[in-house]
């Protein structure tokens, strides 16, 4: 669907606006529009707060009661949202949270920020989107704007959500408006946050696009309109596939350098001195988080349905997925150099978050490394100042405090996440053997330090 087929829907090119459109636009521009954000996680909560900060009354809707209670008490559970800011918005009556979907009846605009994981077969699991869309359809009314923000395959808005909403008898572009705007937030990034990351927006029809652009212009520093929801969906997948493939490439270069006895970190640092045509990516123990290891497979799944094999995505997935095994092999080599085996060794993992200075361990490669090492008979423990406990369907473990005794007693310390809270000189001085998968010990030289 592109703008050229717009007459299939409610928009008529001869009729650029209608009264429903005008009324909603007026409510948005006057900050009178009521906004609902469905899904109050790492993406939804910062977005809800940003809308509230720009003067809207926002209702967050989530199925998790604990999150609703925390928001109502002004306690933030997302690191990028300070509790003080949350409290200000709650006290001013601009932000509230509920699990009652019937409140959608009061809303002018709805943003969907629910999770989009993969199934075990690596197929998209869009069940949360479907369930949210079902609730929206149940309470859909004239003059409402619905925007999907969850990362998903191109076509989700047009092919999955639109039919559910139009089944109510209301017509898109005329009675209600529908668009897609990818969330591009980078948890832990102090420079670029929800407000100042440019917001790409695509509507099902031109009016849908115009009204969604009007909404985001009120709250975001810059808005980038695109011609369709499919383009907007694809933008996000291109961005994350770009990262996955480049990390896959640099991981392969790291494996190559290991065989050729070349320091890959020094190579990247020197290559990054080129002022054009090169962008540094860094190797590591594997991909983690809720985006980069998952999103490209949404794209390859959809491409397969069109008879297209996304080879770069699959290859990067293989290389990146092999990195935890490479780390374990290198830990085995390091232990072997001091006449020890993985089996029976005490191994301490430093950092289980998927990246530095965040409290999110979803898809973290450290969890795979933990499981492979314990499977080989190692006695594995971990320290992470941001993640006191890990509960997965594979295992439940608690963090240990990082003490000199713990470091000295470990047969090998593995740096899996380069948190800035770790004192790396102290770690290097106390540990008997270190395997550094992040170059956190850059500049330190010792025969007991092994690097990726
Ligand atoms: N985390 C990131 O860094 C990031 C960045 C950009 C985009 N995204 C994308 O944004 C989306 C949300 O990710 P997230 O990290 O915020 O997830 P999250 O798991 O932190 O939060 C999702 C929230 O949605 C709630 N939820 C689930 N199903 C629901 C339903 N049917 N109705 C109401 N609430 C429901 C959950 O209880 C949870 O609070 C995903 O598509 C993700 O890929 C995430």
Query: What pLDDT is recorded for position 15?
Result: 52
- For atom 12 of ligand 1, which residue has the closest CA? 115
Query: What pLDDT is recorded for position 120?
Result: 83
Q: How far is the CA of 434 from the centre of ligand 1 (A)?
A: 36
Query: What pLDDT is recorded for position 8?
Result: 57
Query: What pLDDT is recorded for position 232?
Result: 98
Q: How far is the CA of 38 from the centre of ligand 1 (A)?
A: 9
Q: How far is the CA of 449 from the centre of ligand 1 (A)?
A: 39
- For atom 25 of ligand 1, which residue has the closest CA? 39
Rounded to whole angstroms, the Cα distance separating 340 from 115 reads 43
- Sheet harboring 223-226: ordered strands across? 95-98, 57-61, 34-38, 109-112, 144-148, 176-180, 199-203, 223-226
Q: Is 64 in the pocket of ligand 1 (CB under 6 A)?
A: yes
Catalytic residue among 113, 208, 257, 291: 291
Q: Is 150 in the pocket of ligand 1 (CB under 6 A)?
A: yes
For 105-117, the pLDDT digits (tens) are 999 999 999 999 9
Rounded to whole angstroms, the Cα distance separating 298 from 330 reads 32
Ramachandran assignment for 266, one of left (phi > 0), alpha (psi -120 to 50 degrees), beta (any other): alpha
Q: Is 6 in the pocket of ligand 1 (CB under 6 A)?
A: no
Query: What pLDDT is recorded for position 10?
Result: 60
CA angle (388, 394, 399) in 5-degree steps: 15
Instruction: Tally Cβ neighbours within 10 Å of residue 340.
Output: 17
Identify any residues that bridge with 109 across adjacent strands, giving them in sequence order: 35, 145
Q: Is 288 in the pocket of ligand 1 (CB under 6 A)?
A: no
To the query of whether residue 291 is one of the catalytic residues in this protein, the response is: yes
Low-confidence ranges of the chain (pLDDT < 70): 1-17
If we measure between CA atoms, which residue out of 279, 320, 277, 275 comes closest to residue 296? 320
Query: What global pTM score does this model have?
Result: 0.93
Q: Is 131 in the pocket of ligand 1 (CB under 6 A)?
A: yes
Q: Is 111 in the pocket of ligand 1 (CB under 6 A)?
A: no
């Amino acid at each position: 669907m592109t703008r050229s087929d717009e007459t299939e829907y409610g928009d008529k090119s001869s009729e650029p606006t209608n009264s429903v459109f005008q009324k909603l636009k007026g409510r948005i521009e006057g900050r009178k529009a009521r906004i609902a954000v469905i899904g109050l996680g790492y993406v939804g909560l910062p977005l809800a707060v940003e809308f509230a900060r720009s003067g809207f009354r926002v209702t967050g809707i989530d199925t998790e009661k604990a999150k609703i209670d925390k928001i109502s008490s002004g306690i933030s559970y997302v690191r990028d949202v300070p509790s003080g800011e949350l409290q200000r918005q709650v006290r001013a009556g601009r932000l509230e949270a509920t699990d009652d979907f019937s409140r959608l009846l009061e809303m002018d605009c709805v943003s969907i920020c629910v999770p989009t994981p993969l199934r075990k077969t690596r197929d998209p699991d869009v069940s949360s989107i479907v369930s949210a869309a079902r609730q929206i359809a149940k309470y859909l009314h004239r003059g409402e704007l619905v925007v999907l923000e969850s990362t998903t395959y191109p076509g989700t808005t047009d092919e999955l959500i639109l039919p559910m909403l139009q089944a109510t008898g209301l017509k898109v572009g005329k009675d209600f408006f529908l668009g897609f705007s990818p969330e591009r937030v980078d948890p832990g990034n102090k420079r670029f946050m929800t407000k100042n990351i440019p917001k790409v927006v695509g509507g099902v029809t031109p009016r849908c696009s115009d009204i969604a652009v009007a909404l985001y212009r009120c709250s975001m520093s810059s808005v980038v309109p695109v011609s369709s929801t499919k383009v907007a969906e694809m933008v996000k997948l291109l961005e994350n596939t770009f990262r996955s493939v480049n990390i896959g490439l640099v991981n392969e270069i790291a494996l190559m350098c290991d065989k050729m006895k070349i320091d890959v970190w020094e190579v990247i640092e020197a290559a990054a001195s080129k002022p054009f045509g090169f962008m540094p990516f860094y190797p590591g123990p594997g991909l983690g988080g809720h985006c980069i290891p998952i999103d490209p497979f949404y794209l390859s799944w959809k491409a397969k349905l069109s008879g297209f094999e996304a080879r770069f995505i699959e290859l990067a997935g293989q290389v990146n997925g092999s990195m935890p095994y490479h780390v374990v092999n290198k830990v085995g080599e390091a232990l072997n150099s001091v006449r020890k085996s993985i089996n029976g060794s005490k191994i301490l993992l430093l950092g289980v978050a998927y990246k530095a200075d965040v409290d999110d361990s979803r898809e973290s490669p450290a969890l795979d490394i933990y499981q492979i090492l314990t499977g080989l008979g190692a006695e594995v423990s971990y320290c992470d100042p941001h993640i006191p406990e890990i509960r997965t369907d594979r295992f439940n473990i608690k963090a240990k405090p990082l003490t000199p005794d713990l470091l000295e007693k470990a047969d090998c310390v593995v740096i899996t996440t380069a948190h800035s809270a770790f004192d790396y000189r102290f770690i290097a001085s106390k540990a008997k053997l270190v395997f550094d998968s992040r170059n956190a010990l850059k500049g330190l030289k010792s025969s007991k330090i092994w690097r990726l």
